[in-house]
Chains A and B, each alone.
Chain A
C-alpha cells in the first residue's frame, strides 16, 4: 500500500540553527500537507502543496514539493524555542484518504 517515509525521526538543534525534514512517498501524490504537533497537543495544519515543484514560504518556514510529486521538504531558518514539536507530512493520492509520515520531532536548545 501507499507509504510516506519521513526523515529524520529526531533532530536536536541549537536555537538559531536551521532545520530540515524530508518526506518521500512510494507513489505519486496529488497533494501533500504539513502539520505541526506540539508536545501533548494535536496536529495543526500548516500548509498544502499541490503543484509540481511548488515552493511556499511562511515567515521562517519554506515548503517544497518535488517535481515528480513524490517528495517534499520543510525547512526552518533560524529556529526558535517556539518551533519545538513534531512536524508531519501527510500525502494524498486523491480523495480525502491522507497518509501521514512518522513525523520528525524537533528539539531546540536555547
Chain B
C-alpha cells in the first residue's frame, strides 16, 4: 500500500493567491482528516470527513479555508486568498477502524506564503 499521498510536497506562493492542497487517503479508509502544524500552535485538526461527508469543521480558521471530498479517494483543502500567517505544514490523515482510532498521516505539504 502506498499510504496516504499528498501533493504538492512543497508550495511557495504569494499573498493573495489561491492555494489547493490535495490528498489521496489509503484505499478502504472511510475517515479523512486535515491538520495544520506550526511551531506556535502545534498540530491542529481543521476538518474531518466520514464517507466523504464533512463531520466537524470547527477547526477551520476562517472562510478563506474550504475543504471538499468529492469521492472516497480524493480530498482538497483550498485557501483563497492566502496570507503569510497560513504558512505551515498541512497534513492529511486517514483512518478506518471505528473502535481503534489509529490515524495514518501523509508526508505533509509545506506551504510558504510570501
Contact = CB atoms under 8 A, between A and B. Distances in A.
A and B pair up = yes
A101 B56 CA distance: 19
Contact of A103 (B42, B50, B102): B42
B106 interface: yes
Q: How large is the interface on B (under 10, 10 to 19, 20 to 34, 35 or more residues)?
A: 20 to 34
Given A96-B31, A96-B95, A97-B56, A43 B101 contact: no
Contact of B43 (A31, A92, A95, A103): A103
B103 A45 contact: yes
Interface in B42-96: 42-45, 48, 50, 55-56, 91, 93, 95
A98 B103 contact: yes
Interface of B: 31, 33, 35, 42-45, 48, 50, 55-56, 91, 93, 95, 100-108
Interface of A: 31, 33, 41-45, 48, 88, 92, 95-103
